[in-house]
Structures are given as C-alpha cells and as structure tokens.
Structure 1
Amino acid sequence: MDHWVLYDNSGGEPVLIDWSGKAMSKKGDVEESQPVYGAPPQPSGADLKGSLAALRRAANRARQVAQQTGTDLIVMRDGQLIRISPAEQQP
C-alpha cells in the first residue's frame, strides 16, 4: 500500500481523521495466500442440507441472465478463471 486515509464513519458524513502518503508496509512484507479451490465438501449438518442444490440453482440462474443480457460468464475450471462469451455459452 502506498498511502492510507482514515475516516470516522460513525456520523452522517465521513470525517477525515488522519492520512499519510507514506507506505504502511514495504513490498514483500505482506504475504497473502491464494484461495484453494477444489471439490465442494459434502454437506454434513442440517444447516447445510440443500445448500449444494441452492448453489447449483444460483449457477443456472447466472447462466440464464448472462445469456439474456449478452454478458460474459466467468467460471472456474481446473483452478483457473475462464471467461465464456455469450456465443460460447450453451443454450
């Protein structure tokens, strides 16, 4: 990060509290792990029952909306993000 700004958002309007043009951290000081994607876990509790089916319904609806609006669909295949144009989408 090359600069920062701190606001108080507790009121109706944000109020500037402090700022700095100095970096908060040096390059290489911050390490963020990349998310690991794989097979979805099998539902094990009552609260998860039906969640996989809900995710599948949401994915199908996203495909429908992308087709209707001519929007690219972004999917993950083999750990890679893939952009699928409306022409490539299956009807």
Structure 2
Amino acid sequence: MEILVIMGIGVAIGHFIFPKRAKTINERLQVACTLVLIFSMGVMLGQRENFLGELATVGWQSFVFFLLPTVLSVVCVYLLTRRFLGNKKGGPQK
C-alpha cells in the first residue's frame, strides 16, 4: 500500500509541480536509475553461493509469476471487451 501512495505522490508532483522543460533530463535520469537497479539485482544474484544450481528453480518461479498474471489479464480484457464493446457488427451484445 505504501508503494501506491508514494507512486501517487510522484504522479501528482510530476503533473502539477515538475517543470515541463526538465522532462528530458528526468527521462534520462529514470533510464539511468533503472540500469543501476538492474545491475544491482544482477550483482546480488551473482553473490549467491549456489546460484547456478538454483537457476532452474528461480527460472520456473519467474515463469509462473509472469504466466499467471498475463493469462488472467488477457482473459479479463477479452471478457470485458466482449461485454462492453459489443460484437463484430458494431452493436453491443445483449
């Protein structure tokens, strides 16, 4: 919940306070910070003693964490699209 509050504050500051002329600098800073974060995560994983032995388990866990939300999101979008956007003829379904 705290993450959502912090993100909401960031969105509000970006929309109402942050100057438009600093947009390009902010975008580059975001990319740089993302690269540092990914690098740090790689270093942390590389320091694990049995990382190569755990790689298959970590890979499967990552795959499941990707697959379930993706499939559920696609199913929800499909059902909501059929419900609210109607059929191919352009009219709403009954």
- TM-score, normalised on structure 1? 0.30
Report which of the two has the higher share of helix: 2
- TM-score, normalised on structure 2? 0.29
Report which of the two has the higher share of strand: 1
Q: Which of 1 and 2 has higher RCO (CA within 8 Å, sep 6+)? A: 1
